[in-house]
Amino acid sequence: MSYSFVWTDSFSEDIRRLDPAIKNRLLRKLSGVQRNPLTFDRFKGRSNRFKVRIGNFRLVYDVDIPAASVCLILFRKRGDVYRNIYQPSRLFSHSSTPMTRHGAPSASLILSGRI
């Protein structure tokens, strides 16, 4: 089963500033997350929140199994993730549309900057 991606404005802002080499590494991990998001490490005390290590960065996402979707929350350096992840008011931007839904083949679209 292939999961679709949903992402926060914070995630979108995080990836816009990335070096192309890091974007390529993230793209490879996103394809694995899209195929089976439940195989990665869970956050303690959070049944549907997962984290993936990519160098000094961490990808944080939630999984909605019934909807077959993955919400990409953050992609930041390790220290920033663990400092901010438990404070939702600092986690999400306050726009009128906090999330954008895209179909399953959107990993490369996300990283291309056309989001």
pLDDT of residue 81: 83
Listed residue (113, 107, 89) closest to 37, CA to CA: 107
pLDDT of residue 98: 40
* Cβ–Cβ under 8 Å, residues 49 and 62: yes
Element at 32 (helix H, strand E): helix 20-35
Query: For 71, left (φ over 0), alpha (ψ -120 to 50), or beta?
Result: beta
Q: What is the largest CA-CA distance in the chain?
A: 34
30 forms beta bridges with: none
The 10 Å Cβ neighbour count of residue 33 is 22
pLDDT band of residue 85 (cuts 50, 70, 90) is low
Task: Share the mean pLDDT of the chain.
Answer: 79
pLDDT of residue 21: 93
* Cβ–Cβ under 8 Å, residues 104 and 5: yes
CATH architecture assigned to 4-112: 2-Layer Sandwich (3.30)
Domain ranges of the chain: 4-112
